[in-house]
Structure 1
């Protein structure tokens, strides 16, 4: 069974966005993530902000990248729910961490936080419905 057939067969809530909508949202968010995370890593590398500020950004990046292989490769719903929880918490941690240094970076994470909140709720529902 392909990943798409597997995903389509899952019991999902009625409010689940279409895959094309999810893809569009990520296409809008990834440039924001690229610019803001890149800015933080650059400022840390130039020693303009302390290196611990970059820790939540790095963890978030790893967890975000890991989500798709966990969900669609391993097809592991509980592990995907844990992973997206890490993504959500590290967004908040990132915002708190960068706030004293570059508030615009924290504000720029708001759309990412909103979407991951929705995506987390969806992932929890799918995990629950198919557990």
Structure 2
């Protein structure tokens, strides 16, 4: 899959224009997805020096992106009449998702098992068994 990933609030805590602390397991999960042959595109509002800092932050942690703020590495605004800020990605990982950003373990499970958010919630509901209240005599006898 081609996966577009936001930076601020998704890979790092939202401290824009500064770079916040890395969100636990973000880089490791993205590197694992890359190892499984997914193409990652950094899709950020950052531009210029701020974008370079974000790319360098990831690079220092061993994460290289297939493309940055474009569909493919060679795409150039001035030489491509199809250039668009709308990406042709299969999936977007962004803290501005409806419902917010799941933890990175959940994100990995959803991507690797091709689960929708609805599938995942249904799975959790099926696995959940509420604790049954003890009857009065069981509590008295400590059972």
Give me the TM-score of the superposition, normalised by structure 1: 0.27
Higher-helix-fraction structure? 1
| Higher-RCO chain (CA-CA 8 Å, sequence separation at least 6) | 1
- Give 1 or 2 for the bigger CA radius of gyration: 2
